[in-house]
Amino acid sequence: MPARPLVLYPDPRLKTPCAVIEAIDDSVRAWAEDLLASMDAAPPRTVGIAAPQVGILSRLAIVDTSRNPQHPGGHGLLILVNPQIVAAEGEQIFREGCLSLPDYTANIRRSQKVTVTALGLGGDLLTIDAEGFEAVVLQHEIDHLDGLLFLDRVANVKTDLFRRKTG
């Protein structure tokens, strides 16, 4: 299955709330394969990708914090259909990047711990308790499914948004 081209800011598809997946059929499984291939084709240490970032406006995301060895202790590869945050507590500020905003990073305030429910590709109900880095990534990817980018959560553009060094 092929990697798909990344959708980049300010493409309006990134601002579009994604549709709930009603049935996990062959097309959803093919989307998941494309999404995984797109993540594999992205820069090393890419730890998450959401379906709208490859032009699929449905509630599907992949998180795999094991791709960044600086942040051990997560659940490894998670392929999430219709993920939802059902509980959250605490607070943390983390410097985030995004495949769809390759020129920027930003300090974003999010919950320290989250509980996420989702369906696996087999239709099984997943409940994921995550904290720290993995909790950040889950919240970032689920934001994508609601048409939100980290830019939408920057508290102060002057002090919290950073242009990446180029070249």
Q: Which is nearer to Zn ion, 24 or 100 (CB)?
A: 100
Q: What is the largest CA-CA distance in the chain?
A: 46
Min separation Cβ 38 and Zn ion, Å: 12
79 binds Zn ion (CB under 5 A): no
Kindly state the smallest distance separating residue 153's Cβ from Zn ion, in Å.
11
Comparing CB distances to Zn ion, the nearer of 43 and 123 is 43
The residues that are catalytic are 141
Sheet holding 113-119, edge to edge: 48-50, 60-63, 78-89, 113-119, 125-131
Beta strand spans in the chain (E)? 48-50, 60-63, 78-89, 92-96, 104-110, 113-119, 125-131, 161-163
Q: Note whether 98 binds Zn ion by CB under 5 A.
A: yes
Cβ closest to Zn ion, residue 24 vs residue 32:
32
Instruction: Give me the DSSP letters along 63-106.
Output: E-GGG-TTS--S---EEEEEEEEEEEE--EEEEE--TT-TTEEE
Q: What is the closest distance, in whole angstroms, from the C-beta atom of residue 139 to Zn ion in the complex? A: 11
The yes or no reply on residue 138 touching Zn ion (CB under 5 A) is: no
Q: Which stretch, 18-26, 39-47, 85-93, 95-103, contacts Zn ion (CB under 5 A)?
A: 95-103
Site residues, Zn ion (CB under 5 A): 98
